[in-house]
Chain A
Amino acid sequence: MASRKEAVMNAVKNEIALTNAQQLMNSANERCYKACITKPGTSLSSGEQTCLSRCLDRYMEAFNIVRRTYMTRLSKERMEDQANVI
């Protein structure tokens, strides 16, 4: 019983992690295509490839900055809320 419970929980966690990764890839793909491929040619030029790999790195970094700021703010608001209650 316990092992089945674990299995279900892990499956849910994996599913969510997968969705997250897919979403990150989709939006990075969309934004970086717009930023880097201004004139689509017959293949990806090396310049475009450099741009894309930098863009992907920057997108991940941007995601982390947004997450960090959001989380910091969230815990700050929560703390103020608690202070108000007390």
Chain B
Amino acid sequence: MAHIYLQKELAVFLEKQQAEARLHQSIHNFTGIWFVPCVTGTPSTRFSRGEESCLSNCVERFLDTSLFMVRKIEEQRSALENGNGKFT
């Protein structure tokens, strides 16, 4: 009996760890992608305001894009279901 509980607990733990790892993975990817366009010239001793806001703008706009795409697809799908089967 204890055995089953333990397995369940480990499964939950692993699921959580994997989710965290996925999150980290995307942060790694984003940093890699945006470091080059945002940090221009030779790296200095600290970030300029522009470089810092470039990085955070990139994150925000990327997530906006992602949400926008999802909404767009949703719209098209519901238009397809309700309407005459034509894409808008």
Number of A-B residue pairs, CB cutoff 8 Å, is 91
Closest to A30 in B: B32
> What are some 21 contacts across the A-B interface (CB < 8 A)?
A1-B2, A5-B6, A5-B9, A8-B10, A12-B13, A27-B28, A31-B35, A35-B42, A54-B42, A54-B44, A57-B45, A58-B35, A59-B31, A62-B31, A62-B35, A62-B38, A65-B56, A66-B56, A66-B58, A69-B55, A73-B59
User: Residues 7-30 of chain A: 1 if any B CB is under 8 Å from the residue's CB, otherwise 0?
Assistant: 011001100100110011001001
Q: Is the interface of B mostly helix, strand, loop or mixed?
A: helix
Are A16's CB and B21's CB within 8 A?
A: yes
Q: Give chain B's interface residues, CB within 8 Å of chain A.
A: 2, 6, 9-10, 13-14, 17, 20-21, 24-28, 30-32, 34-36, 38-39, 42-45, 47, 52, 55-56, 58-60, 63
Closest to B25 in A: A23
In this complex, how many residues of chain A approach chain B with their Cβ under 8 Å: the count is: 35
Are A20's CB and B24's CB within 8 A?
A: yes
B35, B38, B43, B59: most-surrounded residue (chain A CB, <10 A): B43
| A residues 34-86 touching B (CB-CB < 8 Å) | 34-36, 51, 54-55, 57-59, 61-63, 65-70, 73, 77
